[in-house]
Amino acid sequence: MSAIGSLVFCTDCGNLLDSSTGDANTLLTCACCGTENRDTSSQTVLTKTKASSFPSVLRQKRSAVQTVEMSDRDNEATAMETCPECGRKEVKYQSLQLRGADEGSTNFYTCECGYKWKENN
């Protein structure tokens, strides 16, 4: 049997053995071939990590509060909507996904008169 750190492998088939205790008097039975092997690992190693140790874009998306960058908001287009303030028929709008992925986006409208409003889709 061979050991690498706390991982112990069967001498006959090379299968990874379960439950290494670090005690050389313990016999570990291979689930694959049934051979009994001595536990030759130096010690049992326990490792712990923090979520910040492995940054990920997916993990950031899971946070409860998300930040919308200004570069995300620079996507204005024109729409044929009537401004409730001045009656103009064409206004600029931006569409942002502010709620859950299974919900509609939010449209932010801006008229040339300066009036602004939003609608949830």
Q: Determine the pLDDT at residue 99.
A: 79
Q: What is the pLDDT of residues 27-55, one digit of tens each?
A: 888 888 888 877 776 555 667 777 677 77
Binding site: what residues are annotated? 10, 13, 30, 33, 83, 86, 111, 113
**DSSP-H helix ranges across 1-121:** 57-61, 70-73
Higher pLDDT, 56 or 120: 120
Average pLDDT over residues 70-93: 83
Binding site for Zn(2+): what residues are annotated? 10, 13, 30, 33, 83, 86, 111, 113
CB atoms within 10 A of CB 102: 5
Residues 6+ apart with CB under 8 A from 105: 95, 96, 97, 98, 99, 121
Higher pLDDT, 73 or 52: 52
Q: Determine the pLDDT at residue 6.
A: 66
Place of tokens 């103009």: 88
What's the token pair of residue 58?
């997916």
Report percent pLDDT > 70 for the chain. 69
Q: Residue 26: pLDDT band by 50, 70, 90 thresholds? A: confident
d(CA 5, CA 88): 73
Structural domains for the chain: 1-48 (no CATH), 69-120 (2.20.25.10)
